[in-house]
Chain A
Amino acid sequence: MTGRTLYDKLWDEHRVCSEPDGSSLIYIDRQLLHEVTSPQAFEGLRLAGRKPWRLSANLAVADHNVPTEGRERGIADPISRLQVETLDRNCQEFEITEFTMSDPRQGIVHVIGPEQGATLPGMTIVCGDSHTSTHGAFGALAFGIGTSEVEHVLATQCLVQRKAKNLLIRVEGKTRPGVSAKDIVLTIVGKIGTAGGTGYTIEFAGSTIRALSMEGRMTLCNMAIEAGARAGLVAVDETTIAYLEGRPFAPQGEDFEPAAQSWRNLHSDIDAVFDAVVELDAKDIKPQVTWGTSPEMTAPVDGFIPDPQLVQDAVKRESMVRALQYMDLSPGMAIVDVKIDKVFIGSCTNARIEDLRAAAEIVKGKQKAAGVKQVLVVPGSGWVKRQAEQEGLDIVFKDAGFEWRDPGCSMCLAMNADRLEPGERCASTSNRNFEGRQGYGGRTHLVSPAMAAAAAIHGHFVDVGALEPVSTPIEISQSAAVQPPSRVKTGQTHKRKKH
């Protein structure tokens, strides 16, 4: 018998039974709920007189619609307010654990799950949100679902699924200065395209990936969906286990070691067969900046806006022409000459503590460029915010003229009050640069936190790898793994490399 991939193992482990038509009933260990995609699911339960199958499988939080400032005044927009209040009511009625807007643990659903230890290796995890792929960083099978499926999981703890194929993306070697997990994943999406992973579950592997912190692995898996794959995976190793120890919902005390022991098996067998393999050399990866309206439209920071006329494929050429028109950019322009109006540091891709540290590292002692109208720093959760404040990162940002906000999705999708005005150009650490994503007519360039911070300081894109002093290479990141704030003493600052 040939070996199994990590995905094969997770699938086999969760198969309750198979249907004659080739589909399988898959057991779901954890469902994360938020206010936008859950109301009709709860109402469906109510109308059918059903109860949640297993309450302890569910964790809810409001994130998409919450304001990131003046929260004590409540939500101004009545529709946003109704969605959040409906989640509160549903969670009360069905007795589901919820982090409400005033809970210190509140944050973006994909940030709080791992942070609280609600995300554990070997789980199946779903949420009515495509970036559920984030949780795959823990060796968990995690993917986004629609509202009727949210109801299905609430009622049955299962989903009817067909198995995807296996894609291995292997990245080997040491990264260049200034290159983060975001640059790795943007390079991958640029290489295989937004449909490159369609029909697959992606496993990210290789020495470069193993050197990433859990935060970096989450950034990577978060954007697996941008490559078309519903789920991304990274095998469990000691980095994973160290991150989880002491998290509130992780096994505690003497229960931890047996769990950790079983998690250590969560990797692909050495003789496992993948349906497709993509290989990258880390030294070829440079800091990335997207120039178009799809995450695959990306270029190295020392590169240029590409010329559509050099592209053979007519469909691709057309979409490039349209994207450049929307972005108001011309072929041949140097990426570093692109000037920006606003900066957004946040989202489930890049709003964890390590991301804020990387941004603060660049900002320390400097000022926002005069031409930059606004820089929003939106921590991914209340815990991230608290830890950042304990480390003094908020002061670094505020001193530079940045705005330090409360946690939420914010300008990642502009469902709350944070948004771009028509024509504004933004350096953003989020995951989607679609037309209008950050506000009607807004223009988004996806970058890493360090790149976003540097753009805020300079008013245009700059290569953070070439900045003096050289920023921290990622292989030290294991020691930088975030500790649960409960164990962090007030005033403790994070040790960084000396310049």
Chain B
Amino acid sequence: MKPFRRITSRVVPLDRANVDTDAIIPKQFLKSIRRSGFGPYLFDEWRYLDHGEPDMDCSHRPLNPDFVLNRPIYWRAQILLTRENFGCGSSREHAPWALEDYGFRVILAPSFADIFYNNCFKNGLLPIVLAAETVDRLFGECQPGTMMTVDLPSQTITTHFGECIAFAVDPSRKHRLVNGLDDIALTLQHAEAIKAYEARRAAETPWLFNAMN
């Protein structure tokens, strides 16, 4: 997982509440055998005028000019500003995979759906819960091209206008994100203990380590 420390980026305002995981990545893409490559299909039904199917080449598909993400100025933006209950619906891990693959690293909202919130941290995304009034105000201030800095170690957001907003995050999750530790990397910190265990067991019960071929 990519470590997350400080990110400065344009802010994409997605002014909708209850954005569900089927809107984030429609169900036809779940048949995929991959976990990467979902970025081009992020918000597929809103982003394109035609119907998307897995493995389509999106570079020639007709774009919906009214959808915020399609404005050139938001190209490669990493921060998404949205409304309450973002990520509701099914538990598909494809939703954070799609957001991350597109390039987003931060989502700001007054609230998130539970499973989606957990899945974000497993996939290098930082979901930040802010007071509803703060989110309202940020939407008001947000012009095309408005920049923002999110600093995870100090748990602060610095707006375009220099305002500093503090946010909360669970310490162990913060530790994982800041150091880019996924669950596997954390377990691998015990690599020596695992090897020692294996060595002992291989001596005691060698048949458990027979090759299968």
Q: Which residues of A does B touch, CB under 8 Å? A: 16-17, 25, 27, 29, 39-40, 43-44, 47-48, 50, 53-56, 59, 79, 82-83, 86, 97, 116, 118, 120, 122-123, 147-148, 151-152, 155-158, 160, 249-251, 255, 259, 262
In the assembled complex, B59 has its CB within 8 A of some CB on chain A:
no
Interface with A: B71-79, B108-116, B152-160, B182-190, which one?
B182-190
Which residues of chain A are within 8 angstroms of B191 by Cβ–Cβ distance?
156
Contact yes or no, A83 B212, CB < 8 A: no
Which residues of chain A are within 8 angstroms of B213 by Cβ–Cβ distance?
97
22 CB-based A-B contacts, threshold 8 Å? A16-B190, A16-B193, A25-B193, A27-B197, A39-B33, A39-B34, A43-B34, A43-B35, A43-B36, A47-B36, A54-B198, A97-B213, A118-B212, A122-B205, A152-B184, A152-B187, A156-B194, A157-B198, A158-B194, A249-B212, A251-B207, A251-B210
Q: CA–CA, A25 to B194, complex, Å? A: 9
Residue of A nearest to B55 (CB): A82
In the assembled complex, B175 has its CB within 8 A of some CB on chain A:
no
Q: Report the minimum CB–CB distance from B199 to chain A (whole Å).
A: 12
Query: If A17-B193, A27-B194, A27-B197 touch, does A56 touch B187 (CB 8 Å cutoff)?
Result: no
Contact yes or no, A255 B207, CB < 8 A: yes
Query: If A16-B197, A118-B212 touch, does A259 touch B207 (CB 8 Å cutoff)?
Result: yes
- By size class, the interface of chain B is 20 to 34
Which residues of chain A are within 8 angstroms of B198 by Cβ–Cβ distance?
27, 54, 157
Q: CA–CA, A145 to B201, complex, Å? A: 24
Contact yes or no, A148 B33, CB < 8 A: no
Q: CA–CA, A25 to B33, complex, Å? A: 29
Residue of B nearest to A152 (CB): B184
Residue of B nearest to A82 (CB): B33
In the assembled complex, B122 has its CB within 8 A of some CB on chain A:
yes
Contact yes or no, B35 A29, CB < 8 A: no
In the assembled complex, B203 has its CB within 8 A of some CB on chain A:
no
Contact yes or no, A25 B187, CB < 8 A: yes
Contact yes or no, A44 B205, CB < 8 A: no
Binary contact readout B172-185 vs A (1 if CB under 8 angstroms, 0 otherwise): 00000000001110
Contacts A39-B33, A43-B36, A155-B187 known; 6 new A-B pairs at CB < 8 A: A16-B194, A27-B197, A39-B34, A40-B34, A54-B198, A255-B207
Q: CA–CA, A160 to B35, complex, Å? A: 22
Contact yes or no, B184 A155, CB < 8 A: yes
Residue of A nearest to B197 (CB): A16
In the assembled complex, B31 has its CB within 8 A of some CB on chain A:
yes
Q: CA–CA, A355 to B166, complex, Å? A: 64
Which residues of chain A are within 8 angstroms of B190 by Cβ–Cβ distance?
16-17, 25, 158
Q: CA–CA, A118 to B210, complex, Å? A: 10
Contact yes or no, A156 B205, CB < 8 A: no
Query: If A39-B33, A47-B35 touch, does A262 touch B187 (CB 8 Å cutoff)?
Result: no
Q: CA–CA, A53 to B93, complex, Å? A: 24
Q: CA–CA, A86 to B34, complex, Å? A: 10
Contact yes or no, A56 B33, CB < 8 A: no
Which residues of chain B are within 8 angstroms of A262 by Cβ–Cβ distance?
205
Which residues of chain B are within 8 angstroms of A27 by Cβ–Cβ distance?
194, 197-198, 201
Q: Report the minimum CB–CB distance from A124 to chain B (whole Å).
A: 10
Which residues of chain A are within 8 angstroms of B182 by Cβ–Cβ distance?
48
Q: CA–CA, A56 to B35, complex, Å? A: 25
Which residues of chain A are within 8 angstroms of B122 by Cβ–Cβ distance?
148
**Partner pick for B205 among A39, A54, A55, A259, CB 8 A cutoff:** A259
Q: Report the minimum CB–CB distance from B61 to chain A (whole Å).
A: 21
Q: CA–CA, A406 to B207, complex, Å? A: 32
Query: If A27-B197, A48-B184, A255-B207 touch, does A86 touch B33 (CB 8 Å cutoff)?
Result: yes
Residue of A nearest to B97 (CB): A40
Contact yes or no, B207 A148, CB < 8 A: no
Contact yes or no, B210 A160, CB < 8 A: no
Contact yes or no, A148 B183, CB < 8 A: yes
Q: CA–CA, A311 to B122, complex, Å? A: 44
Which residues of chain B are within 8 angstroms of A56 by Cβ–Cβ distance?
209-212
Q: CA–CA, A123 to B208, complex, Å? A: 8
Contacting residues of chain B (70-112) with chain A, CB-CB under 8 angstroms: 93
Q: Report the minimum CB–CB distance from B69 to chain A (whole Å).
A: 24
Q: Report the minimum CB–CB distance from A75 to chain B (whole Å).
A: 14
Which residues of chain B are within 8 angstroms of A118 by Cβ–Cβ distance?
212
Which residues of chain A are within 8 angstroms of B205 by Cβ–Cβ distance?
122, 259, 262
Which residues of chain B are within 8 angstroms of A83 by Cβ–Cβ distance?
33
Which residues of chain B are within 8 angstroms of A122 by Cβ–Cβ distance?
205, 208
Which residues of chain B are within 8 angstroms of A251 by Cβ–Cβ distance?
207, 210
Which residues of chain A are within 8 angstroms of B206 by Cβ–Cβ distance?
255
Contact yes or no, A120 B194, CB < 8 A: no
Q: CA–CA, A473 to B212, complex, Å? A: 37
Which residues of chain B are within 8 angstroms of A43 by Cβ–Cβ distance?
33-36
